[in-house]
Amino acid sequence: MSSRDKTERLLNLTIALLATRRPLTRAELRRMVPGYPDSDEAFERMFERDKDDLREMGVPVETGATSALFDDELGYRIRSDAYALPEMSFTREEMAVLTLAAQAWAGAALAGPASSALLKLKAYAVETDEQALTGLTPRVGTHEPAFRPLWQAVRDARCVRFDYRKPDPPVTGTRTVEPWALVCRHGRWYVVGHDRDRGAARVFRLSRIDGPVTITGAAETERPAGADLAAMVAREAGPAESGVARLRLRVGAGAFLRRAATLRQAEQAGWDSLELPYGDLAALAADLASLGPDVVVVDPPRLREAVIGLLRGAAGVRP
């Protein structure tokens, strides 16, 4: 049984225990909550584990008599007043930070959950100044097709297989990996995990994964205690490339670039010239690619090549 099945069962059990006005017997919970086995012995073991897991998570599962007249059969319930969170309030500044955090995933694979969380927070009626956030929105891109299946594999502790392309020397091979985490660095996503073929921890850049990611079964290894995954990715990714970019920008486009530019000059035919310092070439390339035909990279060549590569990838065109 997968961790996802267990999570769903625990959620359903919590809902059942919260919704009742009296303690429910084990037999009642067995009928109400899907996911429990048919065997009596297996059910007893699983229910005991579930009950202990909920209590370890801080859920106040109470034991009490199922009848006011007889106390020979015990039942279980969760009192809503004991389980409910205290009233929360957020300052204007705190809501601004939460809004930015949710907007960071706009258009990404996790946009739905992030937007849902933000709507729930706004239900507390704390007014936010969205005008003040214009131009400050961080962006976490997850356009690689491999992101979502790998994220699900990390969540469910599953093993995956995919074809991986190495640039130097250029060769593609099949890898079987037990993923531990997804890490973003310099605007790129990496998956860190146990490479079964090599019997060691490895880092893979998502943009170099060719074709689909296939789930092959349950993971057999766990992330080593104390493992610094960020440091592993940093060694693989290398330092960020910084410099000064020279751009041609269509009039009216790229306001966020204009604010950061150190030199702006008007040109004819609706274009402006900009000089823009950057601390991360890959991140700037992603920003420029999002502007499409409204920006032209004049210099440096590596930045221009990076933008062209991103646009080709978005269009499904191979170099």
* DSSP code string of 131-160: GGGTTT-------STTHHHHHHHHHHTEEE
Describe the strand order of the beta sheet including 188-195 as a list of residue ranges: 200-205, 188-195, 170-185, 158-167, 209-218
- Which two tokens mark 47? 């229910």
The reported pLDDT for the residue numbered 108 is: 54
Describe the strand order of the beta sheet including 295-299 as a list of residue ranges: 263-266, 271-278, 243-250, 295-299
The reported pLDDT for the residue numbered 143 is: 64
Alpha-carbon distance of 127 to 92, in angstroms, equals: 7
What residues pair up with 167 in beta bridges, in sequence order? 170
The beta-strand segments (E) located in the chain are 62-65, 74-77, 158-167, 170-185, 188-195, 200-205, 209-218, 243-250, 263-266, 271-278, 295-299
The reported pLDDT for the residue numbered 210 is: 85
**Rounded to 5 degrees, what are φ and ψ at 101?**
-65, -40
The reported pLDDT for the residue numbered 96 is: 63
Question: pLDDT means per 10 residues in the chain (319 residues)?
Answer: 73 85 87 88 92 87 74 80 70 66 54 51 44 44 77 91 81 91 80 92 88 91 84 79 88 85 84 88 81 91 86 61
The reported pLDDT for the residue numbered 316 is: 56
